[in-house]
Chain A
Amino acid sequence: MNRVVFTGIGVTAPNGLGVEDFWAATLAGRSGIGPVRRFDATRYPARLAGEVPGFEAGEHLPSRLLSQTDHMTRLALVAADWALADAGVNPAELPEYGMGVITASSSGGFEFGQRELQNLWSKGGSHVSAYQSFAWFYAVNTGQISIRNGMRGPSGVLVTDQAGGLDAVANARRQIRKGIDLVVSGGVDGSICPWGWVAHMSTGRLSAVDDPDRAYLPFDADATGHVAGEGGAILVMEDEDAARRRGVERSYGELAGYAATMDPRPGGGEPGLRRAAELAIADAGLTPGDVDVVFADAAGVPELDRVEAEAITAVFGPRGVPVTAPKTMTGRLFSGAAPLDVAVALLSIRDGVIPPTINVNPAPGYGIDLVTGAPRHTRPRTALVLARGSGGFNAAVVVRATFPEGGPA
Chain B
Amino acid sequence: MTRPDMTIEALKRILREGAGADEGVDLDADILDVEFAELGYDSLAMLETASRIEREYGIKLEDETTAAARTPRALLAVVNSR
Contacts and interface: CB of A to CB of B under 8 A. Distances in A.
Contacts of B20: 62-68
Contacts of B54: 126
Interface centre among A62, A64, A65, A127 (most CB of B within 10 A): A64
Contact of B22 (A62, A129, A130): A62
Interface string A108-134: 000000000000000000110111010
Interface string B22-61: 1101000000000000001000110110010011000000
Nearest to B24: A62
Nearest to A133: B44
Contacts of B21: 62-64
Given A126-B54, A126-B55, A127-B55, A64 B48 contact: no
Interface string A67-103: 1100000000000000000000000000000000000
A84 B67 CA distance: 36
B23 A62 contact: yes
Interface string A2-39: 00000000000000000000000000000000000000
A67 B22 contact: no
Contacts of B23: 62, 64
Contacts of B72: none
A87 B16 CA distance: 33
A66 B19 CA distance: 8
Contacts of A62: 20-23
A68 to B, nearest CB: 7
Contacts of B44: 68, 130-131, 133
- Interface of B, helix, strand, loop or mixed by DSSP: helix
Contacts of A63: 16, 20-21
B1 to A, nearest CB: 21
Interface string A131-174: 10100000000000000000000000000000000000000000
A134 to B, nearest CB: 8
Given A64-B40, A131-B44, A133-B44, A126 B19 contact: no
B59 to A, nearest CB: 12
A62 to B, nearest CB: 4
Given A130-B47, A131-B44, A133-B44, A64 B19 contact: yes
Interface string A221-256: 000000000000000000000000000000000000
B31 to A, nearest CB: 14
A64 B22 contact: yes
Nearest to A125: B51
A130 B17 CA distance: 13
Interface string B1-18: 000000000000000111
Contacts of A133: 44
B66 to A, nearest CB: 12
Contacts of B22: 62, 64
12 contacts: A63-B16, A64-B22, A67-B19, A67-B48, A68-B20, A68-B44, A126-B54, A129-B48, A130-B18, A130-B45, A130-B48, A131-B48
